Amino acid sequence: MADQFDLRAELTAYLDDPASVATQLDLSSASQKECDRYINTTIDTLSTSPEAIKNDEIFDALKALLKNFAALTPTQMSKIMDLIVSSLQSETQILASDIEQPDPDLLVLHRQICEMYAFLLQWVVIAADGAQAPRAAPARRGKTAKPKAAIEPTTWDSTSQVQAALDVVCRLLGLKLGRIWPTTSERDLFIGLFARPIWLLAESEQRMKVVALRMRMYKVLCISIKHYGQAFAAQTSIVQALQYFEHLSEHMAEFLQILAEQYDYPQLVEEVVRELSSKEFAAADTKGPKSVATFVVKLSELLPRSVLKQMTSLARQLDSEAYAARNGVIEVCGNLIAYMSQQEQSDQAENHKTQINGFFDVLEERFLDINPYCRSKVCQVYTRLCDLETKFPKRRQIVADLAVRSLEDKSSNVRRNAIKLLTKLLSTHPFGLMHGGQLTQKEWVARLEQVNAELTALEPPVGTPGLAEKAPSTEDVEDILDDATEASIMDVDMDDVGEETPSTPRKEAPARDEEATPKAQQPKEVDQESLMRLQLTKRYYTEALRFLESLHEGSKVVAQLLASKNKSEIIEAMDFFVVADAYKLETSKLGIRKMLHLIWTKGNSDEGKGVQSHLIECYRGLFFEAPDHLSPNDAANFVARNMMSLTYGATLAELTSLEQLLSTMMKEGDYISEHVVQKLWQVYGVQRKEISKSQRRGAIIVLGMLGLANPEVIVNELETLLRVGLGLLGRTDLALAKYSCIALQRIQPNRKATHGQPDRATVAKLPNDHTVFSRLYSIVMMSSRSKEWFGVAEQAINTIYLLAEHPDIICGEAIRQKTRAVFQRTAQYHAEDAMEVEDEEQETVADTEASQDQSSTGLAQLLFIVGHVAIKQIVHIEATEMEFKRRKANAAKKSAASPSKKGAPVEADELEAIGGTSEDDFTDAMAQIREHELLYGDKSLLARFGPVIADICQNNLVYKDKALQSAAALALAKLMCVSSEFCERHLPLLLTILERSHDPITRSNVVIALGDMTVCFNHLIDENTDFLYRRLNDRDPSVTKTCLMTLTFLILAGQIKVRGQLAGMAKCLENADKRIADLAKMFFTELATKDNAIYNGFTDIFSVLSADQEVSEDTFRRIIKFLMTFIEKEKHAKQLADKLVSRLPHCDSERAWNDVAYALSLLPHKNEDIQRTIAEGYKFAGVEA
């Protein structure tokens, strides 16, 4: 009977299994029409009187329909839910009018009806939620494709009906239900019928996204907690929800905020935080700690005061094994600092100050957290705190030092966030109150020196009564400054300091000295105030300089991080230097220059392209965007001036990277306008004293770089280039002439820039009588004793071979003419020498030395021309061969495409005169010319110089001039690259020069030449590679670096085989020169990718280094530890361990045994036999010792 409805029993049966709820009616096999009939009958009955729910048939029919709810149609589901909600609403209205009635039987009746409807409402809400979409699995996040697929078969959305049901529940809970359910247990049981489905609804992430529904759920829960004592149940549900459902973290914080602020019930907030603080999370648990941390962080943003009360207990999570829990506390500390810093000054200001300092201490300690995610979180928290109006000057300096230290963290994520923090500290620095925001260290040092001088002038004389007693001490100033921790340092009296410039006391000093003694009392007071201001200003400058020192130290590390493998870290480093440049930090120039090399960053992914794009954007903002207030003409001048400044003091590597950057920007077309190009040509071409050499050079360097992308930039102003760079100005400024020659080469498009388009790869060569070549010829023939002549001559010859139709004719004539000039001058010198008289001996000696010097310089220049022409002639022959093959291939394609047109006219060319010549025949002909004609032909001009150059190199005691010997060695090396016969004949001589030359430049040139010969004539050099490896121990670091780079190329390219010489390369890992050490690390990193090369050579490296007495034990261990990182395969580790352990019985010294034992300790594979052998060896070594 419904009159005997037992809520507890029914609820127990439902919670065990809804299908087990007893019903007399079975609709499991009923048709849709039968279900419609029962639904309509029930609607008709309950719409007339809600009390009809007590009818057994009606209540049983509703339970049967709910048991079979999943099988109903959407329309039927909607009807049932509407029926229960509307009936409960009607019952609520009736109860509202009857609840004040004194009739107890009436209240009992209402109680039973309400319980029956509440039971049914719980059932239908949960059933509707299950029919619409399955509840979210614990920790489900991200894509919602599966729930969406579950919704698609049905068109019913119960959200609006659930909202209506919650509105009815709110009205019901608003009544004085204590009159109906007087006991707590009965009332809790009834209220739980409404709370339970709400918590189940909250498990659905999609449901919680509906704001209207979420607010109604919060309202029902808030009323039940506030008025019906459901706080403990809610606390349990919240804690469980946070552990299993990540999406509820922020929603629960929002719910507690509403409960605390709108319903004045903050107790639950504190209880929940207290319970969460006492939980222990395992390190492997990633779901629970993260959810709890998100909740606490959100709560600290919404209810900071409540969280602040529980920080003592919450701080226990700092010892949690789960890093996510520690992260949460770290972020809470930051939120609370932000909250308290924004509070108005009150009696609790001192307490807040203590709490803020405590939170800062916690954050500073977390910089040493064992987990990189926690260290990163601290940096992120401090980055947000920097945006606060309160600057916390003392803490900022500490944080700056910690951020600089974190730049060297082993985690790239920590380093990236440390760079962000340092950037934010720089952009929000508090030292802009007196002199603007610029941070040029020299200016701040000068200001501090000025203030110190003024303080010295204002100090009272020794023994002055009264004045010395009242002068503020350093401790007094410190106390005043300590009181301003929450504000800027200068907030103490900065208005006064700002009104009076530091020069004011200097003006008062004479008046003070001139005044009579009786009137000294008033100036004393003024002096005391001025002294206080100056001491504050001094402290201000001192703090600024400390901050600048930290930034300068950090800038050096950030510059190194530009070479990081992590792309996002590189981007942050670039942003740092952009901001540093805006604040005029001196070290920013170093970073901006180093950023240039990032233009070569490779990567098929978006990250690799992102670095290049970001670099271009950074340089665009720094150098290519003029201020808005400038006119177009002034803006073009501004950009042109910036572009030229990029070349000032740039190294060759920086100029190469700048060339790639500017050519890339020029290709994109939006960065460099035609107006800017015109301004650059004006600077280059206008002959005014105001234009310095560096500006003119910078202009042509930039124009040459732009011409790489667009040759028209040079072609359109060819006359200007010839008039200036290859004219009178070029003769007086050889560097200008060199860069003008480079710019002239841009007329011929770069093959790399036009690869895949062979027709565009070459343009028509210029005839030999063109004005360009007459100017270039005159530059080469120019007489000059400057070392810059060699660079000019090199580029002039390059230009001739690149642009001329027959460059060998022009250069041959240049060699003849230069030879005549040199030897005629020498003959003239000998003729004059024979006519000298003895009485002019002293004057003759000076003239003789000058003439000899001039003669040696001319001969050195001649040999340089010969050597470089020989190399360029080889390139010219190879280019001719490639051009022949290209044209032959094009002709074959055309004939294949139109076979009917036989005998079609073919392009007239000298190459086509060789009718029917095959590619192999042509290649053999070119090889014959190179091998036998260039240096041994009867008509060859170069053949005349081979014996001369060899003779000069052999007789270095006769030809003592250093420049001549260097030029001769270089020319000999270049000629040896032409012919294998010449190379084989003179190789011993070149190796002798390599071993005995005192000039590091000569030795470096020979090393590079040997590398080229290895590529050309591998069979000749392969047996003499030991001479190359010896240069790794050269006394000059530049030679060592050159040798290392050459060997790196040869080994990685497979040009030479490594036969135990890797130990010399490994020693470079510990070279004092960091550049050499970095190159060695790069070499081994690349070598490790090639067929187990390091594993194969490890034993040789180990043997050589262990036996080398010059290698200390610490150095040996660092090298072996680095190399061991490349032994990754378990098989290799096992085999290497066996090889090393077999050495232990044969060790003849304790050092040798220690070396083997240390190497074995680095290997992951160590079995019991190895451990036993090591133990025995150690005992033996100990006895021997």
pLDDT, averaged in runs of 10, over the chain (1185 residues): 74 86 83 87 87 87 87 88 91 87 83 90 88 49 42 64 92 88 88 92 90 93 92 92 90 94 92 90 84 93 91 90 92 92 68 88 93 94 92 90 94 94 93 85 92 80 51 47 40 37 35 39 58 88 93 94 90 95 92 92 68 92 90 92 92 92 85 90 86 91 92 91 91 93 87 44 76 92 89 94 92 92 68 46 46 76 93 88 82 71 48 56 79 83 90 89 92 91 91 92 93 87 85 92 93 83 90 90 89 86 88 91 87 86 79 86 73 60 39
Does this model's pTM top 0.75? My answer is yes
Instruction: Count each helix (H run) and each strand (E run) in the chain, helices first.
Output: 58, 0
| pLDDT computed for residue 462 by the predictor | 55
Report the alpha-carbon distance of residue 446 to residue 444 in Å, rounded.
5
Q: What are phi and psi of 766, to 5 degrees?
A: -85, 145
Chain-centroid distance of CA 546 in Å reads 26
Report the alpha-carbon distance of residue 980 to residue 1020 in Å, rounded.
8
- For residue 335, what are its two tokens? 């939120």
What single-letter DSSP state applies at residue 804?
B
Residue of 1145, 1152, 1148 lying closest to 1184 (CA atoms):
1148
What lies within 8 Å, CB to CB, of 249 at 6+ separation is: 242, 291, 292, 294, 295, 298
| pLDDT computed for residue 1176 by the predictor | 64
Beta bridge partners of 784: none
The sign of the CA dihedral 799, 803, 808, 812 is negative
Report the alpha-carbon distance of residue 1142 to residue 1138 in Å, rounded.
6
| pLDDT computed for residue 1185 by the predictor | 34
Beta bridge partners of 766: 804
Three-state DSSP at 101 gives coil
Residue of 493, 494, 530, 495 lying closest to 509 (CA atoms):
530
Three-state DSSP at 766 gives strand
| pLDDT computed for residue 1054 by the predictor | 86
**Do residues 951 and 957 make contact, with C-beta atoms less than 8 angstroms apart?**
no
What lies within 8 Å, CB to CB, of 69 at 6+ separation is: 77, 80, 124, 127, 128, 131
| pLDDT computed for residue 571 by the predictor | 93
- For residue 142, what are its two tokens? 């991200």
Compute CA distances 889 → 762, 884, 893, 918, whole Å.
16, 9, 6, 11
Report the alpha-carbon distance of residue 28 to residue 727 in Å, rounded.
105
| pLDDT computed for residue 465 by the predictor | 53
Beta bridge partners of 804: 766
| pLDDT computed for residue 1023 by the predictor | 80
Residue of 371, 412, 365, 364 lying closest to 385 (CA atoms):
364
Report the alpha-carbon distance of residue 1000 to residue 235 in Å, rounded.
80
Side chain identity, residue 716:
N
Report the alpha-carbon distance of residue 1018 to residue 1041 in Å, rounded.
22
